[in-house]
Each structure stands twice: as structure tokens, then as C-alpha cells.
A and B are shown apart, each in its own frame.
Chain A
Amino acid sequence: MAEVGVKQGKTDWLVPAALLVGGAGVAAGIYFYMKKPPGVDPGDRIKAHFSFVFRGDGGSYILLVRFGYHRISDWFDPEEGLDRYTAPVNLPGPGSYEFDVVCILPDGTPARVYDAEGSVLSPSMQPGQEWLIRVFKDKAITVR
């Protein structure tokens, strides 16, 4: 006695699986190729946001930002070309102040992690050699 029906054959998954894996690999490759590591590029602008309390009578001061390497015991070695971001500010009297100093990273800045030094100077002081008060931020920026 004969029966009529559909032949139950095995499905060949090899080709779809290979296409799937290959496609995923290509997609991952494109993703990692296009994706940049976190950080900033030479030419980018960095905003250094200063915040402090001033209890003096008022006067003109200089805000200075330097990027480089914060050594132990608060010694700081600036990177050449990243050591002269300044902004003059006028403080009319006692109070809390906030300022932004915009720093443009020059072309050719070596790709690495930089610490930062923010300081306040009086106008007669030599930047980098004298300061009234300063603060460090380790691993402040990553240049890629």
C-alpha cells in the first residue's frame, strides 16, 4: 500500500550559518574600524571650568591652564605647546566665581593621557613659575 506525502528531508543550515557568521564578522569589523576611542583630537577645544571662592577686595587676575604630567608631591611637568592657556579675569569683590578657559589643542599633540593644572596668578607673575593657588586634575584629557 502506497502512501503519498511530503518527504521529510534534513535542512542544510551550513550555508545560512556561514552567511550569518560572516555578516556579523564584517559588521563588527566595520564597527570597530569606524569607532574612535574616547578622547579628543588635536584641533579640538577643551573647556576648563574654574570655580573658586574669593574673599579679597577685588582686582585683576590671570587664570592659567597647563596640560602635562602631575608628579608625586604636587610637582607638575607641562607638555610643550600645552602650557600657556590663559584668561584674564576681573574680580570686583568677595564672592563665588566661575570661569571657563577655552584651550585649543595644537596640531601634532602626541596621543596620550594628560594631567591638568589650573592656577590663579596675579598679572605680574610668570606663568608656570608662580601662582597664588592651583589645583591638579589627574587624567584630565585623553588625546587620541
Chain B
Amino acid sequence: MKIVIRLFLLVAVVALGWWLWTVCFPSPEKAVLKRMQSLAELLTFKSDITPIGRASRASDFISYFSVDTEIVVNVPELGAHTFSGRDEVREAGNGGFATVPSLAVSFLDATAKIGPDKQTADVSCTLKATVGNDKDFGVQELRFKLKKIEGTWQITRAETVKTLK
């Protein structure tokens, strides 16, 4: 019986150690997905947010993108449009944060593939967005390319994916 208890304790200690290791030193995949999760949280705000809060979020929003970033949007409702560089993204972000009453964003089914150099990553996910008090929500499949720049994962390209061709 003693052996069983000792074995059980050993397994528990190993499991705890493994968990602590993954928390302290997350894999690149986890780091990238965590970054995307924090972007979704940044894009989620309620209608009672102050103008300063909106401006602060808009400022933080741009830090997720690289200087040469490119965002390609091609959806039937909005048509095709490309935002090139941080300035265009900043402008669009400022406009969005200033005009949208409230927003709830989540990236569902997000998966990350790390490149062989461990410095780039491809992320695919489904965007679920609810604007204002709408009961309906919008969904859009997205694909991101990220690059590790000065120790931070930044989005170098984001594009909408046509689920149905």
C-alpha cells in the first residue's frame, strides 16, 4: 500500500512540475495563442467605456501589428479593402473604437503553426463579433501571420478567408 501511495505522490509531483514548467516556459504555440486571446480581450469593450479608455485601447491595438503590417479584408458586406502599414491600421482602429458603441470579440478554434525558424507563426481562427446590443453575431474565418519582433509576437498580415468559394 505504501508503494502505491508513494507512486501516486510521485506521479502527482511530476504532473505538478510539468504544469509549472508549461506555465513558466510556455511553448511558442501557447504564447502566440495567448497573444491572440489578449487581442480579443482588447477589442472587447462595453458601451460605458470612457473616451480615454477608447483612445487607450486604440493605442494598445496598434502595438499588436508590425510596422509593415497588411490587413486584407474581402467580405461581401464590406467589399475588398487592404490596409497597408501601421498608419492605415491606426486610422482604421481609431475610427472603429470611436464609433462602435460596444463590441464583444472572440477568436474561436484558434490554431497556431510555428515556422521552422521559431520566429514566425500562422494562426487560423473564426472571429465571432457582436456589435452593440445586437442579438445576432457576425462570424468570419481569419488567417494571421505573426513574427517575433524584439521578443513580441506581432501581426505582419491578417486576411479574411472565404469559407465558401
Q: Do A and B come from one complex?
A: no
